[in-house]
Structure 1
Protein backbone atom coordinates (compact mmCIF):
# COMPACT_ATOMS: atom_id res chain seq x y z
CA UNK A 1 0.00 0.00 0.00
CA UNK A 2 1.57 3.28 -1.13
CA UNK A 3 -1.32 5.60 -0.24
CA UNK A 4 -4.81 5.33 1.16
CA UNK A 5 -6.49 8.74 1.31
CA UNK A 6 -9.78 10.43 0.57
CA UNK A 7 -8.47 11.41 -2.86
CA UNK A 8 -7.22 8.01 -3.98
CA UNK A 9 -5.86 4.60 -3.08
CA UNK A 10 -2.53 3.49 -4.58
CA UNK A 11 -1.06 -0.01 -4.37
CA UNK A 12 2.15 -1.45 -5.80
CA UNK A 13 2.94 -4.97 -6.97
CA UNK A 14 6.54 -5.22 -8.14
CA UNK A 15 7.07 -2.73 -10.94
CA UNK A 16 3.37 -1.98 -11.38
CA UNK A 17 1.17 0.53 -9.54
CA UNK A 18 -2.63 0.62 -9.53
CA UNK A 19 -4.59 3.68 -8.51
CA UNK A 20 -8.26 3.82 -7.54
CA UNK A 21 -9.24 7.40 -8.32
CA UNK A 22 -11.45 9.57 -6.09
CA UNK A 23 -15.06 8.51 -5.93
CA UNK A 24 -16.17 12.01 -6.92
CA UNK A 25 -14.12 12.03 -10.15
CA UNK A 26 -16.11 13.17 -13.19
CA UNK A 27 -15.72 10.17 -15.55
CA UNK A 28 -15.41 12.18 -18.75
CA UNK A 29 -12.89 14.63 -17.31
CA UNK A 30 -10.81 11.84 -15.76
CA UNK A 31 -10.77 9.94 -19.05
CA UNK A 32 -9.48 13.08 -20.79
CA UNK A 33 -6.79 13.56 -18.15
CA UNK A 34 -5.62 9.97 -18.43
CA UNK A 35 -5.53 10.27 -22.22
CA UNK A 36 -3.46 13.45 -21.87
CA UNK A 37 -0.95 11.62 -19.66
CA UNK A 38 -0.36 9.17 -22.48
CA UNK A 39 -0.23 11.77 -25.26
CA UNK A 40 3.02 11.71 -27.26
CA UNK A 41 3.41 15.47 -26.75
CA UNK A 42 3.73 14.91 -22.99
CA UNK A 43 6.33 12.15 -23.27
CA UNK A 44 9.29 12.97 -21.05
CA UNK A 45 7.14 15.31 -18.95
CA UNK A 46 4.36 13.17 -17.48
CA UNK A 47 4.52 9.47 -16.61
CA UNK A 48 2.28 7.61 -19.06
CA UNK A 49 -0.25 5.00 -17.81
CA UNK A 50 -0.04 1.35 -18.79
CA UNK A 51 -3.79 0.81 -18.75
CA UNK A 52 -6.95 2.82 -18.10
CA UNK A 53 -10.68 2.23 -18.19
CA UNK A 54 -11.01 -0.32 -15.37
CA UNK A 55 -13.44 0.08 -12.47
CA UNK A 56 -13.59 -1.37 -8.98
CA UNK A 57 -16.27 -0.68 -6.40
CA UNK A 58 -17.60 2.25 -8.39
CA UNK A 59 -14.18 3.88 -8.70
CA UNK A 60 -12.12 4.29 -11.84
CA UNK A 61 -8.81 2.40 -11.76
CA UNK A 62 -5.66 3.09 -13.77
CA UNK A 63 -2.40 1.13 -13.95
CA UNK A 64 1.06 2.71 -14.10
CA UNK A 65 4.75 1.76 -14.08
CA UNK A 66 6.37 2.24 -10.69
CA UNK A 67 8.65 5.24 -10.33
CA UNK A 68 11.07 6.08 -7.51
CA UNK A 69 9.71 9.05 -5.51
CA UNK A 70 11.60 11.96 -3.95
CA UNK A 71 13.37 10.86 -0.78
CA UNK A 72 11.77 12.95 1.96
CA UNK A 73 14.75 12.21 4.21
CA UNK A 74 17.02 14.13 1.84
CA UNK A 75 15.30 17.52 1.84
CA UNK A 76 18.49 19.39 0.95
CA UNK A 77 18.82 17.33 -2.23
CA UNK A 78 15.22 17.90 -3.39
CA UNK A 79 15.13 18.19 -7.21
CA UNK A 80 13.86 21.77 -7.38
CA UNK A 81 15.51 22.55 -10.70
CA UNK A 82 14.27 19.35 -12.37
CA UNK A 83 10.75 20.01 -11.11
CA UNK A 84 10.80 23.57 -12.42
CA UNK A 85 11.97 22.41 -15.85
CA UNK A 86 9.18 19.83 -16.06
CA UNK A 87 6.54 22.39 -15.10
CA UNK A 88 7.88 24.89 -17.64
CA UNK A 89 7.78 22.23 -20.35
CA UNK A 90 4.24 21.27 -19.40
CA UNK A 91 3.13 24.91 -19.43
CA UNK A 92 4.61 25.52 -22.90
CA UNK A 93 2.94 22.56 -24.62
CA UNK A 94 0.85 24.18 -27.40
CA UNK A 95 -2.78 23.46 -26.58
CA UNK A 96 -3.58 23.10 -30.26
CA UNK A 97 -1.22 20.11 -30.52
CA UNK A 98 -3.02 17.97 -27.95
CA UNK A 99 -6.58 18.17 -29.22
CA UNK A 100 -9.67 18.83 -27.20
CA UNK A 101 -11.90 19.53 -25.53
CA UNK A 102 -9.57 19.83 -22.55
CA UNK A 103 -10.73 19.77 -18.91
CA UNK A 104 -10.19 22.72 -16.62
CA UNK A 105 -7.33 22.50 -14.11
CA UNK A 106 -8.88 21.57 -10.75
CA UNK A 107 -6.69 23.64 -8.42
CA UNK A 108 -9.34 26.19 -7.36
CA UNK A 109 -11.93 23.43 -7.02
CA UNK A 110 -9.63 21.57 -4.62
CA UNK A 111 -9.21 24.70 -2.54
CA UNK A 112 -13.00 25.06 -2.33
CA UNK A 113 -13.30 21.41 -1.31
CA UNK A 114 -10.80 21.96 1.53
CA UNK A 115 -12.89 24.87 2.77
CA UNK A 116 -16.07 22.80 2.63
CA UNK A 117 -14.34 20.14 4.72
CA UNK A 118 -13.41 22.80 7.26
CA UNK A 119 -16.97 24.13 7.29
CA UNK A 120 -18.31 20.74 8.29
CA UNK A 121 -16.45 20.94 11.63
CA UNK A 122 -17.40 22.83 14.81
CA UNK A 123 -16.51 26.52 14.75
CA UNK A 124 -13.20 27.63 16.25
CA UNK A 125 -10.92 30.68 16.27
CA UNK A 126 -8.51 28.94 13.89
CA UNK A 127 -11.31 28.09 11.47
CA UNK A 128 -12.56 31.68 11.55
CA UNK A 129 -9.05 32.92 10.69
CA UNK A 130 -8.88 30.60 7.67
CA UNK A 131 -12.37 31.61 6.50
CA UNK A 132 -11.51 35.30 6.81
CA UNK A 133 -8.47 34.76 4.55
CA UNK A 134 -10.63 32.77 2.11
CA UNK A 135 -13.02 35.69 1.73
CA UNK A 136 -10.12 37.90 0.61
CA UNK A 137 -9.50 35.76 -2.49
CA UNK A 138 -11.07 36.65 -5.85
CA UNK A 139 -14.00 34.45 -6.95
CA UNK A 140 -11.99 32.58 -9.60
CA UNK A 141 -9.43 31.45 -6.99
CA UNK A 142 -12.29 30.13 -4.85
CA UNK A 143 -13.65 28.11 -7.76
CA UNK A 144 -16.78 30.28 -7.92
CA UNK A 145 -16.18 31.77 -11.37
CA UNK A 146 -14.38 30.55 -14.49
CA UNK A 147 -10.78 31.60 -14.84
CA UNK A 148 -10.45 34.23 -17.59
CA UNK A 149 -6.69 34.94 -17.62
CA UNK A 150 -3.68 33.21 -19.16
CA UNK A 151 -4.32 29.61 -20.14
CA UNK A 152 -1.82 26.79 -20.28
CA UNK A 153 -1.73 23.08 -19.58
CA UNK A 154 -1.25 22.76 -15.80
CA UNK A 155 -0.65 19.94 -13.34
CA UNK A 156 -3.12 21.46 -10.88
CA UNK A 157 -1.75 20.01 -7.62
CA UNK A 158 2.02 20.15 -7.86
CA UNK A 159 4.37 19.44 -4.96
CA UNK A 160 7.51 17.34 -4.56
CA UNK A 161 5.42 14.22 -3.95
CA UNK A 162 4.28 14.47 -7.57
CA UNK A 163 7.69 13.53 -8.94
CA UNK A 164 9.13 10.09 -9.65
CA UNK A 165 12.16 8.73 -11.42
CA UNK A 166 11.47 6.23 -14.18
CA UNK A 167 12.44 3.77 -15.57
CA UNK A 168 15.20 3.44 -12.96
CA UNK A 169 16.04 5.06 -9.59
CA UNK A 170 18.62 7.24 -11.38
CA UNK A 171 16.44 7.87 -14.44
CA UNK A 172 14.81 11.16 -15.45
CA UNK A 173 12.22 12.83 -13.24
CA UNK A 174 8.60 12.78 -14.42
CA UNK A 175 5.35 14.29 -13.15
CA UNK A 176 2.68 11.95 -11.77
CA UNK A 177 -0.91 12.17 -10.46
CA UNK A 178 -3.04 13.64 -13.24
CA UNK A 179 -6.36 13.86 -11.34
CA UNK A 180 -6.20 17.68 -11.50
CA UNK A 181 -4.46 18.08 -14.87
CA UNK A 182 -6.06 20.60 -17.20
CA UNK A 183 -6.09 24.07 -18.65
CA UNK A 184 -5.77 27.07 -16.33
CA UNK A 185 -3.39 29.62 -14.82
CA UNK A 186 0.17 28.17 -14.90
CA UNK A 187 1.05 30.24 -11.81
CA UNK A 188 -1.05 27.79 -9.78
CA UNK A 189 1.62 25.12 -10.28
CA UNK A 190 4.26 27.44 -8.78
CA UNK A 191 2.00 28.56 -5.96
CA UNK A 192 2.82 25.89 -3.38
CA UNK A 193 6.60 26.49 -3.26
CA UNK A 194 5.91 30.24 -3.51
CA UNK A 195 3.58 29.98 -0.52
CA UNK A 196 6.10 27.88 1.42
CA UNK A 197 8.77 30.52 0.76
CA UNK A 198 6.49 33.41 1.74
CA UNK A 199 5.43 31.62 4.94
CA UNK A 200 9.04 30.89 5.91
CA UNK A 201 8.76 27.14 5.31
CA UNK A 202 11.06 26.95 2.25
CA UNK A 203 14.62 28.38 2.31
CA UNK A 204 15.14 31.31 0.01
CA UNK A 205 18.00 29.51 -1.73
CA UNK A 206 15.75 26.62 -2.76
CA UNK A 207 13.04 29.00 -3.98
CA UNK A 208 15.59 31.00 -5.99
CA UNK A 209 16.89 27.83 -7.66
CA UNK A 210 13.38 26.70 -8.53
CA UNK A 211 12.35 30.07 -9.95
CA UNK A 212 15.59 30.52 -11.93
CA UNK A 213 15.28 27.07 -13.51
CA UNK A 214 11.64 27.70 -14.45
CA UNK A 215 12.53 31.00 -16.10
CA UNK A 216 15.54 29.56 -17.90
CA UNK A 217 13.28 26.91 -19.45
CA UNK A 218 10.90 29.60 -20.73
CA UNK A 219 8.05 28.97 -18.31
CA UNK A 220 5.17 31.43 -18.97
CA UNK A 221 3.72 31.69 -15.43
CA UNK A 222 6.01 34.59 -14.50
CA UNK A 223 8.00 37.19 -16.49
CA UNK A 224 11.49 36.11 -17.58
CA UNK A 225 12.99 38.66 -15.18
CA UNK A 226 11.89 40.99 -12.43
CA UNK A 227 9.27 40.62 -9.71
CA UNK A 228 7.25 37.35 -10.05
CA UNK A 229 4.75 38.18 -7.28
CA UNK A 230 2.12 40.03 -9.31
CA UNK A 231 1.48 36.70 -11.05
CA UNK A 232 2.05 34.43 -8.04
CA UNK A 233 0.34 36.40 -5.27
CA UNK A 234 -3.27 35.21 -5.61
CA UNK A 235 -2.48 31.52 -6.29
CA UNK A 236 0.03 31.49 -3.41
CA UNK A 237 -2.56 32.97 -1.05
CA UNK A 238 -5.11 30.41 -2.21
CA UNK A 239 -2.71 27.53 -1.55
CA UNK A 240 -1.88 28.95 1.89
CA UNK A 241 -5.57 29.05 2.76
CA UNK A 242 -6.22 25.58 1.33
CA UNK A 243 -3.30 24.03 3.20
CA UNK A 244 -4.25 25.78 6.44
CA UNK A 245 -7.85 24.59 6.09
CA UNK A 246 -6.68 21.00 5.74
CA UNK A 247 -4.32 21.40 8.71
CA UNK A 248 -6.99 22.88 10.99
CA UNK A 249 -9.46 20.17 9.98
CA UNK A 250 -6.95 17.39 10.66
CA UNK A 251 -5.94 18.86 14.01
CA UNK A 252 -9.60 19.09 15.05
CA UNK A 253 -10.21 15.52 13.94
CA UNK A 254 -7.19 14.26 15.88
CA UNK A 255 -7.89 16.38 18.95
CA UNK A 256 -4.48 18.06 18.92
CA UNK A 257 -2.90 21.49 18.62
CA UNK A 258 -1.37 22.72 15.37
CA UNK A 259 2.31 21.89 14.95
CA UNK A 260 4.88 24.58 14.13
CA UNK A 261 4.52 24.42 10.34
CA UNK A 262 0.73 24.41 10.59
CA UNK A 263 0.87 27.39 12.93
CA UNK A 264 3.00 29.26 10.38
CA UNK A 265 0.31 28.62 7.76
CA UNK A 266 -2.37 29.89 10.13
CA UNK A 267 -0.26 33.00 10.69
CA UNK A 268 -0.10 33.49 6.92
CA UNK A 269 -3.91 33.30 6.81
CA UNK A 270 -4.12 35.93 9.53
CA UNK A 271 -1.94 38.25 7.46
CA UNK A 272 -3.98 37.57 4.28
CA UNK A 273 -7.20 38.36 6.16
CA UNK A 274 -5.82 41.78 7.09
CA UNK A 275 -4.91 42.76 3.52
CA UNK A 276 -6.95 45.57 2.01
Structure 2
Protein backbone atom coordinates (compact mmCIF):
# COMPACT_ATOMS: atom_id res chain seq x y z
CA UNK A 1 0.00 0.00 0.00
CA UNK A 2 1.21 3.51 -0.75
CA UNK A 3 2.62 5.44 2.21
CA UNK A 4 1.35 8.98 2.81
CA UNK A 5 1.92 11.57 5.49
CA UNK A 6 -1.15 13.64 6.37
CA UNK A 7 -0.52 17.20 7.51
CA UNK A 8 -3.53 18.16 9.62
CA UNK A 9 -3.72 21.81 10.59
CA UNK A 10 -6.33 22.62 13.23
CA UNK A 11 -8.16 25.85 12.56
CA UNK A 12 -10.13 27.94 15.00
CA UNK A 13 -13.91 27.44 14.71
CA UNK A 14 -16.10 30.34 13.62
CA UNK A 15 -19.58 31.46 14.45
CA UNK A 16 -22.09 33.83 12.89
CA UNK A 17 -25.48 35.36 13.55
CA UNK A 18 -26.96 32.63 11.40
CA UNK A 19 -24.99 29.70 12.84
CA UNK A 20 -24.90 29.92 16.61
CA UNK A 21 -22.80 26.82 17.27
CA UNK A 22 -19.01 26.96 16.99
CA UNK A 23 -17.41 24.91 14.24
CA UNK A 24 -14.29 22.85 14.76
CA UNK A 25 -12.52 22.68 11.41
CA UNK A 26 -9.52 20.85 10.12
CA UNK A 27 -7.58 21.55 6.95
CA UNK A 28 -6.36 18.22 5.64
CA UNK A 29 -3.66 17.79 3.03
CA UNK A 30 -1.75 14.67 2.06
CA UNK A 31 1.81 14.38 0.80
CA UNK A 32 2.42 10.97 -0.75
CA UNK A 33 5.49 9.09 -1.84
CA UNK A 34 5.84 7.67 -5.34
CA UNK A 35 5.06 4.14 -4.15
CA UNK A 36 2.10 2.60 -5.96
CA UNK A 37 -1.33 1.62 -4.71
CA UNK A 38 -4.02 -0.53 -6.29
CA UNK A 39 -7.44 1.04 -5.83
CA UNK A 40 -10.93 -0.12 -6.77
CA UNK A 41 -13.52 2.59 -7.43
CA UNK A 42 -17.20 1.66 -7.56
CA UNK A 43 -19.50 3.96 -9.51
CA UNK A 44 -16.42 4.95 -11.51
CA UNK A 45 -18.14 7.11 -14.14
CA UNK A 46 -19.91 9.34 -11.60
CA UNK A 47 -18.88 12.94 -11.08
CA UNK A 48 -17.09 12.36 -7.77
CA UNK A 49 -15.86 8.85 -8.56
CA UNK A 50 -14.31 9.98 -11.85
CA UNK A 51 -12.29 12.53 -9.87
CA UNK A 52 -11.06 9.67 -7.65
CA UNK A 53 -10.09 7.65 -10.72
CA UNK A 54 -8.37 10.55 -12.46
CA UNK A 55 -6.41 11.76 -9.45
CA UNK A 56 -5.31 8.25 -8.51
CA UNK A 57 -3.99 7.70 -12.02
CA UNK A 58 -2.14 11.01 -11.86
CA UNK A 59 -0.56 9.78 -8.62
CA UNK A 60 0.69 6.70 -10.46
CA UNK A 61 -1.76 4.28 -8.88
CA UNK A 62 -3.36 1.31 -10.59
CA UNK A 63 -7.14 1.71 -10.70
CA UNK A 64 -9.95 -0.77 -11.26
CA UNK A 65 -13.27 0.93 -11.91
CA UNK A 66 -16.73 -0.62 -11.96
CA UNK A 67 -19.58 1.28 -13.59
CA UNK A 68 -22.85 0.51 -15.32
CA UNK A 69 -21.83 2.79 -18.19
CA UNK A 70 -18.11 2.59 -19.04
CA UNK A 71 -18.52 4.95 -22.00
CA UNK A 72 -19.57 7.69 -19.56
CA UNK A 73 -16.18 7.83 -17.85
CA UNK A 74 -14.66 11.19 -18.80
CA UNK A 75 -11.76 13.31 -17.61
CA UNK A 76 -13.43 15.37 -14.84
CA UNK A 77 -13.95 19.09 -15.24
CA UNK A 78 -12.61 19.95 -11.80
CA UNK A 79 -9.11 18.48 -12.13
CA UNK A 80 -8.96 17.78 -15.83
CA UNK A 81 -8.08 21.22 -17.16
CA UNK A 82 -7.92 21.34 -20.95
CA UNK A 83 -8.49 17.58 -21.18
CA UNK A 84 -11.83 17.73 -19.36
CA UNK A 85 -14.69 15.80 -20.97
CA UNK A 86 -12.34 13.67 -23.08
CA UNK A 87 -12.64 9.90 -22.60
CA UNK A 88 -10.61 8.82 -19.58
CA UNK A 89 -8.20 6.11 -20.67
CA UNK A 90 -4.91 5.04 -19.13
CA UNK A 91 -2.70 1.97 -19.19
CA UNK A 92 -3.05 1.76 -15.41
CA UNK A 93 -6.87 1.79 -15.60
CA UNK A 94 -8.97 -1.37 -15.82
CA UNK A 95 -12.59 -0.43 -16.49
CA UNK A 96 -15.32 -3.00 -15.92
CA UNK A 97 -18.91 -2.64 -17.06
CA UNK A 98 -21.17 -4.11 -14.43
CA UNK A 99 -23.84 -3.79 -11.77
CA UNK A 100 -22.76 -3.35 -8.16
CA UNK A 101 -25.85 -5.25 -6.99
CA UNK A 102 -24.56 -8.36 -8.78
CA UNK A 103 -21.95 -10.14 -6.70
CA UNK A 104 -20.30 -11.65 -9.77
CA UNK A 105 -19.59 -8.16 -11.14
CA UNK A 106 -18.23 -6.93 -7.82
CA UNK A 107 -15.94 -9.94 -7.59
CA UNK A 108 -14.45 -9.06 -10.99
CA UNK A 109 -13.21 -5.79 -9.51
CA UNK A 110 -11.97 -7.17 -6.18
CA UNK A 111 -11.00 -10.81 -6.71
CA UNK A 112 -9.24 -10.51 -10.06
CA UNK A 113 -6.99 -7.67 -8.90
CA UNK A 114 -4.56 -7.13 -6.01
CA UNK A 115 -6.55 -4.35 -4.34
CA UNK A 116 -5.16 -2.24 -1.46
CA UNK A 117 -8.22 -0.04 -0.87
CA UNK A 118 -11.76 0.54 -2.10
CA UNK A 119 -13.68 3.76 -2.77
CA UNK A 120 -17.47 3.58 -3.07
CA UNK A 121 -19.06 6.63 -4.70
CA UNK A 122 -22.32 5.26 -6.04
CA UNK A 123 -25.11 7.43 -7.40
CA UNK A 124 -28.17 7.54 -9.57
CA UNK A 125 -31.88 8.22 -9.19
CA UNK A 126 -33.80 5.63 -7.19
CA UNK A 127 -36.27 5.46 -10.09
CA UNK A 128 -33.41 4.21 -12.27
CA UNK A 129 -31.34 2.09 -9.87
CA UNK A 130 -33.91 0.98 -7.28
CA UNK A 131 -34.62 1.90 -3.67
CA UNK A 132 -31.85 -0.22 -2.12
CA UNK A 133 -28.99 -0.08 -4.63
CA UNK A 134 -26.58 1.74 -2.28
CA UNK A 135 -27.12 -0.72 0.57
CA UNK A 136 -27.21 -3.86 -1.56
CA UNK A 137 -24.19 -2.84 -3.60
CA UNK A 138 -22.16 -1.82 -0.56
CA UNK A 139 -22.99 -5.09 1.21
CA UNK A 140 -21.67 -6.95 -1.84
CA UNK A 141 -18.49 -4.89 -1.82
CA UNK A 142 -17.96 -5.49 1.92
CA UNK A 143 -18.42 -9.24 1.48
CA UNK A 144 -15.98 -9.35 -1.44
CA UNK A 145 -13.41 -7.30 0.49
CA UNK A 146 -13.61 -9.65 3.47
CA UNK A 147 -13.23 -12.70 1.25
CA UNK A 148 -10.19 -11.15 -0.42
CA UNK A 149 -8.68 -9.73 2.78
CA UNK A 150 -8.94 -6.08 1.72
CA UNK A 151 -9.37 -3.88 4.81
CA UNK A 152 -9.46 -0.19 3.83
CA UNK A 153 -12.80 1.23 2.65
CA UNK A 154 -13.98 4.77 1.91
CA UNK A 155 -17.68 5.42 1.20
CA UNK A 156 -19.09 8.74 0.01
CA UNK A 157 -22.59 9.48 1.31
CA UNK A 158 -23.93 12.98 2.10
CA UNK A 159 -24.31 15.59 4.76
CA UNK A 160 -27.58 14.80 6.53
CA UNK A 161 -27.03 11.04 6.51
CA UNK A 162 -26.64 9.04 9.70
CA UNK A 163 -26.06 11.16 12.78
CA UNK A 164 -25.31 14.30 10.72
CA UNK A 165 -28.96 15.28 10.23
CA UNK A 166 -28.53 18.42 12.33
CA UNK A 167 -25.56 19.49 10.20
CA UNK A 168 -27.80 19.94 7.17
CA UNK A 169 -29.46 23.34 6.70
CA UNK A 170 -33.22 23.60 7.13
CA UNK A 171 -34.04 23.72 3.42
CA UNK A 172 -32.06 20.55 2.79
CA UNK A 173 -33.73 18.81 5.74
CA UNK A 174 -37.08 19.44 4.06
CA UNK A 175 -35.82 17.74 0.90
CA UNK A 176 -34.51 14.82 2.95
CA UNK A 177 -37.96 14.28 4.44
CA UNK A 178 -39.85 14.63 1.14
CA UNK A 179 -38.48 14.17 -2.39
CA UNK A 180 -35.20 12.65 -1.16
CA UNK A 181 -36.68 10.41 1.53
CA UNK A 182 -36.03 7.14 -0.32
CA UNK A 183 -32.44 7.93 -1.18
CA UNK A 184 -31.66 8.98 2.40
CA UNK A 185 -33.23 5.81 3.75
CA UNK A 186 -30.86 3.93 1.46
CA UNK A 187 -27.89 6.12 2.47
CA UNK A 188 -28.62 5.57 6.17
CA UNK A 189 -28.79 1.81 5.68
CA UNK A 190 -25.61 1.94 3.60
CA UNK A 191 -23.78 3.76 6.39
CA UNK A 192 -25.01 1.26 8.97
CA UNK A 193 -23.67 -1.61 6.86
CA UNK A 194 -20.28 0.08 6.66
CA UNK A 195 -20.15 0.83 10.39
CA UNK A 196 -20.94 -2.81 11.19
CA UNK A 197 -18.53 -4.23 8.59
CA UNK A 198 -15.49 -4.60 10.83
CA UNK A 199 -13.36 -3.01 8.09
CA UNK A 200 -11.12 0.04 8.38
CA UNK A 201 -13.66 2.48 6.99
CA UNK A 202 -14.17 6.18 6.48
CA UNK A 203 -17.66 7.47 5.66
CA UNK A 204 -17.29 10.82 3.89
CA UNK A 205 -20.21 13.27 4.11
CA UNK A 206 -19.55 16.22 1.79
CA UNK A 207 -21.42 19.50 1.83
CA UNK A 208 -22.81 21.07 -1.35
CA UNK A 209 -20.93 19.51 -4.28
CA UNK A 210 -19.55 21.49 -7.22
CA UNK A 211 -17.43 20.71 -10.29
CA UNK A 212 -15.03 23.58 -9.61
CA UNK A 213 -11.26 23.21 -9.71
CA UNK A 214 -9.76 21.74 -6.52
CA UNK A 215 -9.01 24.27 -3.78
CA UNK A 216 -6.69 22.01 -1.78
CA UNK A 217 -8.62 23.09 1.33
CA UNK A 218 -10.66 20.43 3.12
CA UNK A 219 -12.37 21.46 6.34
CA UNK A 220 -13.82 18.87 8.68
CA UNK A 221 -16.92 20.56 10.04
CA UNK A 222 -18.80 20.05 13.31
CA UNK A 223 -21.61 22.47 12.37
CA UNK A 224 -23.35 23.21 9.09
CA UNK A 225 -21.15 22.60 6.07
CA UNK A 226 -20.43 24.85 3.14
CA UNK A 227 -19.77 23.77 -0.44
CA UNK A 228 -16.88 21.67 -1.69
CA UNK A 229 -15.56 20.76 -5.15
CA UNK A 230 -15.81 17.09 -6.01
CA UNK A 231 -12.07 17.26 -6.74
CA UNK A 232 -11.37 18.03 -3.07
CA UNK A 233 -13.70 15.22 -1.95
CA UNK A 234 -11.70 12.86 -4.15
CA UNK A 235 -8.42 13.97 -2.55
CA UNK A 236 -9.86 13.21 0.88
CA UNK A 237 -11.13 9.80 -0.26
CA UNK A 238 -7.75 8.84 -1.69
CA UNK A 239 -6.10 9.77 1.58
CA UNK A 240 -8.61 7.57 3.39
CA UNK A 241 -7.60 4.46 1.44
CA UNK A 242 -3.90 5.18 0.91
CA UNK A 243 -2.66 6.68 4.17
CA UNK A 244 -2.06 4.05 6.88
CA UNK A 245 -2.27 6.78 9.53
CA UNK A 246 -5.34 8.57 8.15
CA UNK A 247 -6.94 10.54 10.97
CA UNK A 248 -10.58 9.66 10.25
CA UNK A 249 -10.57 5.87 10.12
CA UNK A 250 -13.77 4.43 11.63
CA UNK A 251 -15.30 7.91 11.57
CA UNK A 252 -17.83 9.78 9.43
CA UNK A 253 -16.52 13.33 8.90
CA UNK A 254 -18.50 16.07 7.22
CA UNK A 255 -16.25 18.02 4.87
CA UNK A 256 -16.41 21.32 3.01
CA UNK A 257 -13.97 23.72 1.40
CA UNK A 258 -15.95 26.92 1.87
CA UNK A 259 -16.14 27.83 5.54
CA UNK A 260 -18.95 26.43 7.58
CA UNK A 261 -21.79 28.60 6.37
CA UNK A 262 -25.22 27.34 5.54
CA UNK A 263 -25.84 26.07 2.02
CA UNK A 264 -28.70 24.98 -0.17
CA UNK A 265 -28.35 22.08 -2.59
CA UNK A 266 -27.54 23.43 -6.04
CA UNK A 267 -29.55 21.38 -8.53
CA UNK A 268 -28.53 23.43 -11.55
CA UNK A 269 -26.87 21.91 -14.58
CA UNK A 270 -23.79 24.04 -13.84
CA UNK A 271 -23.29 22.25 -10.53
CA UNK A 272 -23.17 18.98 -12.45
CA UNK A 273 -20.82 20.32 -15.09
CA UNK A 274 -23.52 20.47 -17.74
CA UNK A 275 -24.24 23.37 -20.07
Q: TM-score, normalised by structure 1?
A: 0.24
Judging by fraction of residues, say which structure has more strand: 2
Judging by fraction of residues, say which structure has more helix: 1
Mark the structure with the bigger radius of gyration. 1
